Amino acid sequence: MDVLQKCTEYNLHEQMRERGLYPYYRQISSAQDPMVTICGQKVVMLGSNNYLGLTTDSGVKQASIRAIERYGTGCAGSRLLNGTLDIHVQLEERITRFMKSEAALTFSTGFQVNLGVLSALLGRKDVAILDRMDHASIIDGVRLGFGKSVKYGHNDMEDLENKLSLIQEDRGKLIVVDGVFSMEGDLANLPEIVALKNKYQARLVVDDAHGLGVFGENGRGSAEHFDVEDEVDLTMGTFSKSLATVGGFISGSREVVDYLRHHSRTGIFSAAMPPSAAAAAIAAIDIIEAEPQRRKQLWESTRYMKKELDNLGFETGPSVSPVIPIAVGEDITSFEMTMRLLEEGVFVNPVISPAVPPGQALIRTSYMATHERDHLDFALEGLAKVGREFDII
């Protein structure tokens, strides 16, 4: 059998293109602002993870420009060998202070954080315990390790305890969970997870890619929100959401971070993140601390949209974050509504199986601190029109 045969047999994307329903790789020719330009058309952006609107902040952009002028565009090597710049060290020190941890280690992408960290920590006698809705990077990171894995029902604490109780005492236990679930917009039940972690002598990693900058009095994420920061062993964060650039980090104890610095293959064998990205992340953290009003504005828009979408009759599920999904049912409906909404001037993202169970497709909307009420009201008009067309409301 030809190993490439599967490529020629797969034709869903061609079918969608022929029907004008292909919703991926849409070309945006402007910045990630509340309004973006697609094929010359201005549309309201409800599909970005630029939660605090910092990708176009003048201070963040200038920091990035200055870094390029000083260091050039890249590092030409891995952090382990020739790719560590002083600005990388400055960023890790800045993250450590912001997260109130002992140490931090940066990676070139957020996906690489989970791949490298989890595969390095999970040995043959270890077990990873995962929420069924954990991000793909968590799933893949566990697969790369030598340990075993079990999954519990989404936010089902009774099932989590049952899974923990069945693991032998001589096994290392690592609970890995999203702080904010990126498709559903709900939060992990960290207080109960922490209680079970302690009861069964497990360790806890929280992927807070969508919580960092958004939750907590100081923007440190879901653990700060629940006041359990001291109980989380490792926190993963990305720079590609609230922190306005690309890359990611792990923060925790000095000993664990130093171990990962010398054992995480995605860090050791990947080129270092560009200096421009490191500078942008530092500037973004400074703004998060100095301008809490951005987070306040984000939450005002989030609460307004959740209320209005619910009032229109949309099913938005248990979301309590700036990610607000709309249940639409079948995958094809998600595709069709996504493209109709674009015609109405609203950019949203389709979420289909296997990201969600079959028959539970979503339209994913997300919000930014820089959205104005006019943007949101225009989007609501389009959502209401298209929702009625498809008998969703």
What lies within 8 Å, CB to CB, of 17 at 6+ separation is none
Bond preceding residue 275 cis, omega within 30 of 0? no
Is the CB of residue 325 less than 8 Å from the CB of residue 182?
no
Please pick, among 173, 241, 371, 375, the residue that the annotation labels catalytic. 241
Active site residue 241: yes
Please pick, among 64, 119, 137, 182, the residue that the annotation labels catalytic. 182
Active site residue 125: no
Find, among 333, 332, 317, 316, the residue nearest to 380 by Cα.
316
Residue 309: CB atoms within 10 Å: 23
Amino acid at 171: R
Instruction: Name the one residue in this structure whose structure tokens are 């497990």.
Output: 202
Distance separating alpha carbons of residues 164 and 173, to the nearest angstrom? 8
Tokens of 160: 């989590």
Amino acid at 146: F
Distance separating alpha carbons of residues 41 and 15, to the nearest angstrom? 25
Instruction: Name the one residue in this structure whose structure tokens are 């990126």.
Output: 182
Half-sphere exposure (Cβ direction) of 332: Cα atoms closer than 13 Å: 5
Distance separating alpha carbons of residues 342 and 168, to the nearest angstrom? 52
Please pick, among 88, 163, 173, 210, the residue that the annotation labels catalytic. 210
237 DSSP β-pair partners: 249
Which strand ranges, in their side-by-side order, compose the sheet holding 361-366?
323-329, 361-366, 349-351
Find, among 219, 290, 212, the residue nearest to 245 by Cα.
212
Tokens of 117: 């960290």
* H or E element, residue 362: strand 361-366
Active site residue 296: no
Is the CB of residue 75 less than 8 Å from the CB of residue 275?
yes
Backbone torsions φ then ψ of 129, nearest 5 degrees = -115, 115
Is the CB of residue 180 less than 8 Å from the CB of residue 366?
no
Is the CB of residue 137 less than 8 Å from the CB of residue 277?
no
Tokens of 12: 């869903």
Active-site positions read 182, 210, 241
